[in-house]
């Protein structure tokens, strides 16, 4: 990916413009700083032994996918191919955060002599799968790890060309619960009507396991999966307060399908590789901030995890996933359902009991006192490169240039 620093800079002082669960601006230098901070964390933790050397990350520009790419490159010394769907700067507008992140990652990797290939386009399409296969053949040969970390509200099916839209709804019953209006900073009641059968099918078509399976099929057919390849897709379970809208809702059905896809992939690979689902901790990302109830839950959870000194973000989670699960030098530890659990700290009984207690108490008046909503807000704008120490936010910058 290239940035255009030669054009007459439409120099902008870039400020966050938050609209609900999205920020419509992003700061190039802040995003770069974010990537560098994650790289520094991984370097400080040290190299991971017996780790992969050629890694494909699908959904590599933000959140868990970006952290996976950073751990692969800077913790394992791996060559990486990152696939994502991001917007470059256009007409003086800022690029999307994931676009800046990917440019910053590529630069940092290349500075250390690490091959990094960015593929920006629709991962659900056959074209992008083919482009990725070609890039692997030319630059990497074969891959020994495939991370599947897509989060998308929409998918154009590559065969039928149907457009599928996912919805976040409960199944079988109306859901009434506390939620947080993050703009107005108000704790209020939310009511969501149950999903129709079509809603359930649509959501599974977007966030289910079919696309992961299609990726593995395409890579296998092209002969670019190394013997012993590992592939991992990310999922979430969380506590009971979120179950009606998450685990037992439309997204939960889709995530169950991801687990079934892991079984199907394992059968197809027939011992020449292994597919895993990793259950990760709730963290602040563009995807999680769009789920009702979750920002309030995260604000309370972070308070408890921080007090217990066990608060982790994407990079800490993924470093542990690689070092203590996928490449721990033993067989990969899994739960009774065969899933990797890196949500162990979040799901500690004492953490959940404390969050449950706060959940029953929380209201608008005591939100800031008993929760980490202030931390949530900081983490949210940080996703878009704002609020990072060391970045001069008053200085005009060219949004097309990094
Ligand atoms: P995110 O929004 O930060 O990242 C999504 C990634 O998908 C980005 O790189 C984006 O560019 C890419 N993407 C979206 N649509 C695409 C398309 N059509 N083509 C190519 N790339 C596309 O999301 P995240 O929160 O890091 O989620 C990643 C995975 O982790 C998801 O499966 C999610 O369910 C899981 N997970 C998230 C949490 C959480 O709290 N955020 C917790 C557990 C598991």
Question: Which tens digits make up the pLDDT trace of 175-215?
Answer: 999 999 988 899 999 999 999 999 999 999 999 999 999 99
Nearest residue to 154 (alpha-carbon basis) of 162, 166, 146: 166
Q: Which long-range contacts (CB under 8 A, 24 or more apart) does 136-139 make?
A: 136/54, 136/56, 136/81, 136/219, 136/222, 136/224, 137/222, 137/224, 139/79, 139/81, 139/115
The answer, yes or no, to whether any atom of ligand 1 lies below 6 A from the CB of 289, is no
CA dist., res. 300 & res. 376, Å (int): 9
Contact 116, 79 (CB under 8 A): yes
pLDDT confidence bin for 2, thresholds 50/70/90: low
Q: How far does residue 11's CA lie from ligand 1's centre (Å)?
A: 31
Of 148, 234, 236, 246, catalytic: 246
Select from 71, 132, 149, 257 the residue to mutate for testing ligand 1; criterion: most ligand atoms less than 8 Å from CB. 149
Nearest residue to 194 (alpha-carbon basis) of 172, 177, 176: 172
Q: How far does residue 212's CA lie from ligand 1's centre (Å)?
A: 13
CA dist., res. 39 & res. 31, Å (int): 13
Question: Average model confidence (pLDDT) for the chain?
Answer: 95
**Whether pLDDT at 401 is above 90:** no
pLDDT confidence bin for 6, thresholds 50/70/90: low
The answer, yes or no, to whether any atom of ligand 1 lies below 6 A from the CB of 235, is yes
What element of type H or E holds 230? strand 225-235
**For residue 287, what pLDDT is reported?**
87
The answer, yes or no, to whether any atom of ligand 1 lies below 6 A from the CB of 123, is yes
**For residue 330, what pLDDT is reported?**
84
Contact 3, 391 (CB under 8 A): no
**Whether pLDDT at 342 is above 70:** yes
Segment 68-83, tens digit of pLDDT = 999 999 999 999 999 9
Ranges of beta strands (E only) in 236-282 are 273-279
Please compute the mean of the pLDDT values over residues 299-317 and round it to a whole number.
97
> What percentage of the chain reaches a pLDDT higher than 70?
98
Q: Which domains can be identified in the chain, with CATH numbers?
A: 18-167+196-291+307-346 (3.40.50.720)
pLDDT confidence bin for 7, thresholds 50/70/90: low
Q: How far does residue 222's CA lie from ligand 1's centre (Å)?
A: 26
Q: In terms of DSSP bridges, do strands 273-279 and 340-341 run parallel, antiparallel, or are they unpaired?
A: parallel
Q: How far does residue 207's CA lie from ligand 1's centre (Å)?
A: 10
Token look-up 């009511």 returns 191
CA dist., res. 38 & res. 151, Å (int): 21
The answer, yes or no, to whether any atom of ligand 1 lies below 6 A from the CB of 282, is yes
| pTM of the complete model beyond 0.95 | yes
Known catalytic membership, residue 246:
yes
Protein residue whose Cα sits closest to atom 34 of ligand 1: 235
Q: How far does residue 171's CA lie from ligand 1's centre (Å)?
A: 23
> What percentage of the chain reaches a pLDDT higher than 90?
90
The answer, yes or no, to whether any atom of ligand 1 lies below 6 A from the CB of 152, is yes
CA dist., res. 319 & res. 75, Å (int): 8
Helices 250-269 & 197-207 angle (0-180, nearest 10): 50
**For residue 218, what pLDDT is reported?**
98
Segment 126-143, tens digit of pLDDT = 999 999 999 999 999 999
CA dist., res. 313 & res. 306, Å (int): 11
Contact 343, 280 (CB under 8 A): yes
Protein residue whose Cα sits closest to atom 40 of ligand 1: 282
The answer, yes or no, to whether any atom of ligand 1 lies below 6 A from the CB of 95, is no
Token look-up 């408890």 returns 304
Contact 224, 143 (CB under 8 A): yes
């Amino acid at each position: 990916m290239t940035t255009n620093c030669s054009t007459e800079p439409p120099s902008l002082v870039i400020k966050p413009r938050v609209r609900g669960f999205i920020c419509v601006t992003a700061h190039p230098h802040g995003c770069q700083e974010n990537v560098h901070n994650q790289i520094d964390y991984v370097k400080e933790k040290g190299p991971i032994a017996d780790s992969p050397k050629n890694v494909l990350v699908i959904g590599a520009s933000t959140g868990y996918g970006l952290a996976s790419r950073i751990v692969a490159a800077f913790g394992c010394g791996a060559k990486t191919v990152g696939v994502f769907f991001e917007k470059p700067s256009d007409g003086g507008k800022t690029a999307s955060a994931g676009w800046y992140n990917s440019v910053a990652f590529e630069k940092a990797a290349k500075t250390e002599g690490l091959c990094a290939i960015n593929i920006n386009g629709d991962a659900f399409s056959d074209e992008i799968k083919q482009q990725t296969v070609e890039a692997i053949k030319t630059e990497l040969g074969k891959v020994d790890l495939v991370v599947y970390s897509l989060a998308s509200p929409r998918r154009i099916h590559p065969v039928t060309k149907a457009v599928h839209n996912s919805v976040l709804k409960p199944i079988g019953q109306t859901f009434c619960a506390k939620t947080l209006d993050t703009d107005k900073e108000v704790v209020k009641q939310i009511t969501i009507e149950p999903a129709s059968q079509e809603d359930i099918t649509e959501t599974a078509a977007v966030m289910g396991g079919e696309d992961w399976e299609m990726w593995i099929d395409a890579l296998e057919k092209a002969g670019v999966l190394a013997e012993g390849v590992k592939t991992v897709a990310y999922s979430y379970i969380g506590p009971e307060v979120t179950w009606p809208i998450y685990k037992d809702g439309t997204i939960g059905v889709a995530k169950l399908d991801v687990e079934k896809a892991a079984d199907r992939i394992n059968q197809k690979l027939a011992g020449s590789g292994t597919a895993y689902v990793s259950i990760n901790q709730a963290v602040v990302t563009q995807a999680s901030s769009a789920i009702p109830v979750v920002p309030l839950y995260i604000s309370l959870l972070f308070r408890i995890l921080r007090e217990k000194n066990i608060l982790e973000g994407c990079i800490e989670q993924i470093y542990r996933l690689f070092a203590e699960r996928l490449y721990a030098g033993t067989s990969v530890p899994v739960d009774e359902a065969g899933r990797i659990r890196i949500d162990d700290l979040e799901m500690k009984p004492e953490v959940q009991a404390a969050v449950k207690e706060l959940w029953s108490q929380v209201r608008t008046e005591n939100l800031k006192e008993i929760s980490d909503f202030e931390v949530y807000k900081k983490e949210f704008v940080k996703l878009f490169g704002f609020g990072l120490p060391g970045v001069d936010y008053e200085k005009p910058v060219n949004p097309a240039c990094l």
